[in-house]
Amino acid sequence: MWALGLLLLVGLFFAVGAPIGLVWILASPRRSRPKPVHAAAVPFGCAAVPAVGLGAAILWASVFQKSDLQLYQEVFGERTTVPEQSMLFDAFGRGRSREIYMRIYPDAAEIEHLSGLPGLTVSDTTLSQFASRGDQHGFSWWISSEPGRPGYCPAAVLLEADGFRGWQEFRIAQCKDADADPARLGDGEIYVIAALRAD
């Protein structure tokens, strides 16, 4: 989808640059008129602007944005035994408006760690409410309560530990069988929302 958007943007900039090049030739005095090849380069130069902007954005993200392991440490305050390729994060805002969303494929040590978080208890949050938080950001990798969608879960363990490490909202969800213990984490991918820092 983003590739199509970039292609449309490149086409739009090219369409804007073409008349600019034409006006440059027609409006210039005869003696100082640009060569046709120079005028023809204008739309191509304009078309390059979105691509250069995208490259700059990717470079900025790689230099200044936190890695998944760094975001894990921001949420939990410690390292994990889970490899980075088994995690997926997205983060928004700063300070008190900070929100971090996480999907992780946990190993046994990580399940034990999450199950032992201080203040962890069964949450009143419903699966559809939890899923809607990711939908608001357009995540394609988030848990879903709608059949047929990626990440669909018919039921889930839903836990909370509000106040953990200063997170005013801390929620955990994991798909489960209908007869599974609603307060116990097991095997399978786990989703976490950590939002609204108190400091």
pLDDT tens digit sequence for 161-172: 999 999 999 999
d(CA 42, CA 51): 15
HEC sequence for 70-113? HHHHHHHCCCCCCCHHHEEEEEECCHHHCEEEEEECCCHHHHHH
d(CA 162, CA 192): 12
pLDDT tens track for 9-55: 767 777 776 677 666 666 677 666 667 666 667 777 777 777 777 66
d(CA 58, CA 65): 10
Question: What global pTM score does this model have?
Answer: 0.66
Instruction: Give the pLDDT confidence score for residue 190 in this predicted structure.
Output: 92
Instruction: Give the pLDDT confidence score for residue 171 in this predicted structure.
Output: 95
